[in-house]
Amino acid sequence: MKPEHRAIALNSLILSGAPPAAVETVLASARLNEFDRGATIFLQGERATAIYIVAEGWVKLYRISPNGTEAIVGVFTKGRSFGEAVAFRHDVYPVAAEAVTDCRLIRIEAEVILRLIREAPDFAVSVLSATFAHLHGLVGQVEALKAQTGAQRVAEFLLELSSCAAGPCTVTLPYDKVLIAGRLGMKPESLSRAFAKLREHGVTVRQNHAEIADVEALRDYATEDPGLAWSRGQ
């Protein structure tokens, strides 16, 4: 595994707090898989045997309803992991995963993680902590759907992708904006209006890049009392 991909794995939610010895065991068995744009990573209903960390590119998770409608459940890019919960239970994937762009994924066999959980209590605690952090993030997404304005949800999404703590920053977006809309529970036209509103807060979108003039100012806007934002029509 290349040093840059190893660094991404080390900073992922599931491994960032794990004991060094356990991390080395996990990475020794990890493999880098490459997928072309549009390729299926796994299917809904397929037995879950692995956890994935995105090293490069974009991945979408989606469900197909009985009437054939596609519902986007999540969109993941560099450093984000998926598949943990069901893989730990030897369950089936409740969603399908597809490469939105050409991408490289770090594949970790679930059995390696489970063996370490049984053998190393410190590692088990770190995995439990990562699971709670992931759950907290999901709860935050649900709260955002109910409380934040559309523009605030988009601002928070951009901040999640940002690698900058302050100052100006450029964020890479997936080419298909429908994915972002689906991830944020919005219609594509609502997403367009939200991007237009964010121009007032220093965000400029050009093709698949969003330029943020001031990360801290955008964070203040994203966390502003939604009542104030709604009252201003934002």
Give the helix, strand, coil percentages of the chain, each rounded to 5.
45, 25, 30
Assess whether 86 and 34 both reside in one domain: yes
Residue 228, pLDDT score: 62
More reliable by pLDDT, 183 or 137: 183
Assess whether 114 and 179 both reside in one domain: no
Average pLDDT of the chain is 87
Assess whether 98 and 211 both reside in one domain: no
Q: Model pTM?
A: 0.79
Assess whether 194 and 92 both reside in one domain: no
How confident is the model over 164-186, as pLDDT tens digits?
Answer: 888 999 998 876 788 888 878 88
Assess whether 140 and 154 both reside in one domain: no
More reliable by pLDDT, 139 or 164: 164
Taking CA atoms, 124 is separated from 6, 23, 60, 163, in Å, by: 21, 12, 28, 29
Q: Which two tokens stand for residue 168?
A: 């100006």
Assess whether 51 and 136 both reside in one domain: yes
Assess whether 120 and 101 both reside in one domain: yes
CA dist., res. 181 & res. 161, Å (int): 15
Longest Cα separation, the chain: 55
Assess whether 19 and 114 both reside in one domain: yes
Assess whether 132 and 42 both reside in one domain: yes
Question: Where does a domain end: 92, 113, 144?
Answer: 144
Weakest-pLDDT range from 27-36, 40-49, 71-80, 107-116? 71-80
Q: How many domains in the chain?
A: 2
Residue 21, class by beta-carbon neighbours within 10 Å (0-12 exposed, 13-18 middle, 19+ buried)?
Answer: exposed
Tokens 């880098």 -> residue: 32
Q: Check if the beta carbon of residue 219 is closer than 8 Å to that of residue 230.
A: no
CA dist., res. 158 & res. 3, Å (int): 27
Say if residue 5's pLDDT is above 90. Answer: yes
Assess whether 67 and 36 both reside in one domain: yes
Residue 182, pLDDT score: 80
